[in-house]
Structure 1
Amino acid sequence: MDVFTLLTLLIVVAATFAYLNSRFLKLPDAIGIMVVSLGFSLLLLGVGAVQPTWFALTRQAVAAIDFDRVLFDVMLSMLLFAGAFHTDAAQLRVERRSVMLFALAGTVLSTFLIGTGLYGISAWLGLGLAYPLCLLFGALISPTDPIAVLGILARFKLPESVKTNIVGESLFNDGVGVVVFATIYELVLGQELSVGGIGLLFLQEAGGGIIFGLVLGYILYRLLRSINHYQTEVLLTLAAVVGGYLLAQHLHVSGPLAMVVAGLLVGARGRQDAMSHQTEEYVDKFWELLDVVLNALLFVLIGIELLVIEFKAAYWLISALAVVLVLLARYAAVWLPYRLARRWLTLDSKAPLMMTWGGLRGGISVALALSISSEVPNKNLIVAITYAVVLFSVIGQGLTLERLIRRLYPTTQDAPEALAD
C-alpha cells in the first residue's frame, strides 16, 4: 500500500470515527475516537472468525503501518510544539520548580519503581523477565500524555497550579522519558555503558535538546518579528518544527525537548511582540487544527493496533497487575517529590492524587514499545502489557477523571467557556 493511499484511508477512518463520537457517544475527542476505533477493531476480530482471508488482508495492511516511525518522525514534533505553543508560559514559569521536579525526578523514580515491580511480578509468575528489560518498560510507560485529558480539564475551574503541573509535566516528561528509554535500551542491547557514560549520554540528549530548542525558538522568533505576512509566518513555524526536529535527530539531541522549548518560547515572546493580531490568530488556529487532526489520526492508530498486537492467555494476569503497578508507582513518583519539596511548591494536598489519575499514558508509550527490536527476548509481552496499560489509562482513567475532579474539588463549577458551548 502506497503512502498516499494509507494516509487517505486513515483520514477517512478518523473523520468517520470522530463523527460517530460527536453524533452519538459525545465523549472527549481523543477518548471517544479511541473507543470507536477499539470497537471497530473488535468487530474486525469477530469478522475474522467468519472471513479469515479478508481479515488476514486487513491485518496485513495494519501491520504495514510503522507506528513508531509514523509517530516519532511525522507526528510527535508537531504535537509537542502545538501543545507547548498553546500552554500558558507565564503560569508555567510560576510552576517551573514543581514541573521540572516531577518531569525529571518523577520520571526517573517512576522508571525504577515500575521496572523493579515488574521484575518481581514476572519472577512470581514464573516468566523471568530480565531486569534491564523491566526497566525499559518502566521508561516507556512513565511519560504521561496531556492530549486526552486537556479537553476534560478545560471544562473545570481546577486550581491553575494543578492544571499547569499536569500539562507542563507531560510536555517535558515526554522528552525525558524518551531519553531515559534510549539510555536503558543501550543496556538491553548489550552495550557497555559506565555510570559516567550514562550521565554523558543523558546530558547530551536532554541538555542538548533544551539548548537546541532555545536556539531554534529564538531564530524563529526573530524571523517572525522581521515580517508581517501571516501566510509566510504560518509556513515558517511549520518549517521550523519539521526541519528543526530532523536536524535535532542528526545532531543526536532530544527532538521532543527541543520542540517543547521552542514552542514555549515562540508562544510567549512571539505572541507578545513578534506577531500582529491577525498573524497570531492564524498561527493559533493553524496549530490548533493541526493538533486536532493529528490527535484523531494518532488515537485511530492506537485503536487499530489491537489487530496486530499478540495477546496470549498468559499475558492477561501480568497485564492486569502491571496496570495496578503503574498507578501505584505513579502516585509514589509524584507524592515523594511533593512531600520533600512541599514548602517550595504551590500545590495543595490533593494534587498528588489528581496528578496520578490525570497522568494518562498514550501513543508515545505504544510507539516506544513497538520500536524495540524483535530480537529482544519477550518483546511481544512488553508490547502487550504496554497496550493494556494505555487502554486502561485512556479509557478507564479518562472516563472517570471528571468524577474525581468533582470529588476532590467539589466547589468547582463548569468553566464559562464550557457553559457557553
Structure 2
Amino acid sequence: MIHHVEVQVLILLLIASLVGIFAQRIRLPYTLALVLAGLALSFVKLEALSGVNLTADLLMLLFLPPLLFEAAYHLPFEDFKKNRAHILFLALAGVLIATTLTAVGSFGVFHTLGLFSSFNWAHAFLFAAVVSATDPISVLALFKEMGAPKRLYQVVEGESLINDGVAVVIFAIVIAVVGLPSNHGPATPLNGLQETVAFACVTFIKTALGGILVGAGIGGLASFMTRQVDDHLIEITLTTLVAWGSFLIAEELHVSGVLSTVTAGVLMGSFGKNFGMSASTRVAVQDFWQYMGFLSNSFIFLLVGLELDPAAFLRNLPAVLLAFLVVVLARAIVVYTGIPIVDFFTTPLPSTWRHILVWGGLRGSLSMVLILGLPADFTGRSFLINLVFGVVSVSLFLQGLTMAPLMKRLGLAPDLRSTNKDYELARARSLSYREVIHEAQKKIDRGIPNETSYRKVLSYYSDAREKALTEIAEYGETLAMPKQLLDAAKSLAMTEREALSHALSTEMISSTTCAELLNDINQRMDELESAAQDGEEQLQEAFERIYGARTDENEHFPEQEAPSAFQGG
C-alpha cells in the first residue's frame, strides 16, 4: 500500500531533478535554482505537499550530517594546514566578530527605522548567530569552472567548513542566554553579565573540543575498520555510519555534533581513504557522497520553501534588504581589517582576494536549518524565519550571479573564450558542417531528383570540415592545459567504465577481469586527482607519465601506422 509520505518524497525528488536539468540548461548554479523552486513552492501550494511538516529535528538530524560529512571528506588536510592561519581567523574570530557586528547593526537599523517594533536584542543575536556562517557552495563551483587560484579556493572552502561548527556552537550559547531549551539541555537561568560571559566561554570550549574529540575517535576507528575489508559497499556503509553516528553520539553527549561530523569527515577523507580504501572504493565513496550532498541540499531548500508564508516574505522585504546590507558590511569589516593583520604572521594573500572573500561569503542552508530550530511558540519566530530565508535568497542571487564578473574584473579568471577565439570558431564550424554533411547524405540516400547538385555542395562542406578539423588540432595543442586534460581524462574514463560494465552484464568478460580493469582505471584517475591537489605542474607530469607512456609505446612498432585522428570524419 502506497502512503502519502512516499508520494511526497517522490514529488520532491522529481522537482529536484527538474530543477537540476533546468539549471544546467540555462547555466544557473544549482543552489540558486533551488531557491527559485523553493519560493515557487511557497506560492503554488501543491495539494500533494500540503501535509509536509518541516521540523528542526528533520533538518538537523537527517539532512545536515551528510552535507557536513561530504564537504569535510573532500577537504585535504594538507591544504588546510597550509592556509590554517587565514582559515582559523575567518572561521573563529571572524565569526564571533561578525556575529556581534551583525547583531548590533540589525538592532540599530530596525529600531531607527521602526521596521519591527518588537525586535529586541534576543532577536538580533539569534539572527546574527544563524547568518554568521558562510556557505559558498555555488561560489566554489564557479571557482572550479573559471579556474580561480587554488589557494583562494582552499581558504574559502576551509572557512565555510569550520565556521559551520562555530556558528552552531554560538547559536546554542545564544539560545541558552535567551533562556530557551536546546538540544544540549533545558534552559539555563543566567544572572548578570559576568555569569553570562563565563557560561559562554565554558560552553564554547567544552562543546567545541568535545565535538572534535568525539569525531576524531569515530573517524579513526572507522579508518582502521576500512583497512580490514575490500568491499566498496561495506565501506560506503561504514562512512554512512560515521556521518550520522558521529553527529548523533556527539549530540547525545551534549557536545557539538557539527564539529564531530566535520572532524570525522576530514580524518576519513585525508587519512582513512588512503590508509584503508582501494582505488575503486575511493571512487565509489566519492560518488556516493556527492549524491548525498546533492540530495540533502535539494530537500532542505525545497522543504524550507514550503514553510514560508509568501505574503509575510514580501511584507518584510525592506527589512530583508537592510539586514543583508548589515551582514555584508559586517563581513567587510572582518575581512578588510583582519586579513591584513593575519598576513603579517604568514604568507600573505593578494590584496585583490579580499574583495572575493567579502563578496563570496554567501549564506546558505545551515542558516535556515538553525533558525527553524526555534520553539514554535517563540515570539518573533515567523519574522526571523522570513528574515533569514530572505537574506539567504538575496545573498545567493545577488552575490552568486555577480561573482563571475567581479572575478574577471579583478583578473582572477582567465577568459578562455576571448583568448582562444580561433579555436572556438574552428570547433563551431566543424560541428555545424558535420550536421550538414549528415543531412545531405541522408537526402542523397533517399534518392532526391537533384542528386548531382547536392553532391557538389556536399564536396564543399566536406573539404571545409577537414580544414576545420586541422585547425582544431593546431589550436588545441595550446589549449591542452592541465585542468582541461584532467577533465578530458575523467570524461573518457567514465566511458571506459561503462563499456566494461556492459561487457560484464552481457557475460563477454568475467567479473575478475572486469574488476582488474576497473581497478586500473581507478588507479589512473586517483593518481591524477592526487597530482591535481599538488598543483598544475604536478598534474601535467602525472598526465604525461600515464598517457605519454602509452603514446611512446606505439613508437616501438613503426610498421603499424597509427590511424589518423580524423579518419572517418
Q: CA deviation at 1:61?
A: 3.0
Q: CA deviation at 1:187?
A: 1.5
- Please provide the CA RMSD for this pair: 2.3
The answer on 1:32 being equivalent to 2:22 is: no
Cα distance in structure 2, aligned partners of 1:65 and 1:374: 11
- Superimposed CA distance per residue, residues 118-169 of structure 1 (whole angstroms, 9 cap, x where no aligned partner): 1111211232522132111111111111323222111122222221111111
Cross-structure match for 2:333: 332
Deviates more, 1:351-360 or 1:367-376: 367-376
The answer on 1:146 being equivalent to 2:147 is: no
Alignment map for 1:239-388 (pairs within 5 Å): 239-307=241-309, 310-311=312-313, 313=315, 315-345=316-346, 346-388=348-390
Q: TM-score, normalised by structure 2?
A: 0.67
Q: CA deviation at 1:57?
A: 4.9
- Code of the residue aligned with 1:162 in structure 2: it is L
The answer on 1:223 being equivalent to 2:291 is: no
Cross-structure match for 1:171: 161
- Code of the residue aligned with 2:414 in structure 1: it is T
Cα distance in structure 2, aligned partners of 1:56 and 1:203: 45
SS at match of 1:258: helix
The answer on 1:156 being equivalent to 2:150 is: no
Say if 1:122 and 1:318, in contact at 8 Å, map to a contact too: yes
Say if 1:145 and 1:170, in contact at 8 Å, map to a contact too: yes
Deviates more, 1:279-288 or 1:154-163: 154-163
Q: 1:65 to 1:410 in 2, by over 3 A?
A: closer
1:109 to 83, 92, 97: 97
Cross-structure match for 2:179: 189
SS at match of 2:344: helix
Q: 1:229 to 1:321 in 2, by over 3 A?
A: same
Q: 1:402 to 1:302 in 2, by over 3 A?
A: farther
Cα distance in structure 2, aligned partners of 1:142 and 1:123: 21
What's the % identity of the aligned pairs? 30
Say if 2:308 and 2:386, in contact at 8 Å, map to a contact too: no
Q: 1:71 to 1:203 in 2, by over 3 A?
A: same
- Superimposed CA distance per residue, residues 191-221 of structure 1 (whole angstroms, 9 cap, x where no aligned partner): 4332222111111211111111111111111
Q: CA deviation at 1:11?
A: 1.2
Cross-structure match for 2:555: none
Cross-structure match for 1:49: none
Unaligned runs of 5+ in 1: 45-54
Cα distance in structure 1, aligned partners of 2:251 and 2:166: 15
Cross-structure match for 2:185: none
- Superimposed CA distance per residue, residues 303-337 of structure 1 (whole angstroms, 9 cap, x where no aligned partner): 44444683363x23222111111111111122222
Q: Choose between structure 1 and 2 for higher RCO, CA contacts under 8 A separated by at least 6 residues.
A: 1
Aligned length: 406
Deviates more, 1:363-372 or 1:260-269: 363-372
Q: CA deviation at 1:356?
A: 1.5
- Code of the residue aligned with 2:484 in structure 1: it is P
Deviates more, 1:187-196 or 1:411-420: 411-420
Rg (Cα) greater in structure? 2
Say if 2:126 and 2:174, in contact at 8 Å, map to a contact too: yes
Cross-structure match for 1:47: none
Q: CA deviation at 1:15?
A: 1.5
Q: CA deviation at 1:185?
A: 1.0
Cα distance in structure 1, aligned partners of 2:234 and 2:46: 46
Q: CA deviation at 1:59?
A: 7.5
Cα distance in structure 1, aligned partners of 2:177 and 2:257: 22
Cα distance in structure 1, aligned partners of 2:165 and 2:406: 28
2:54 to 55, 65, 73: 65
- Code of the residue aligned with 1:321 in structure 2: it is L
- Superimposed CA distance per residue, residues 26-82 of structure 1 (whole angstroms, 9 cap, x where no aligned partner): 31222223324434544x2xxxxxxxxxx59568435x222x322211011111111
Cα distance in structure 2, aligned partners of 1:146 and 1:410: 17
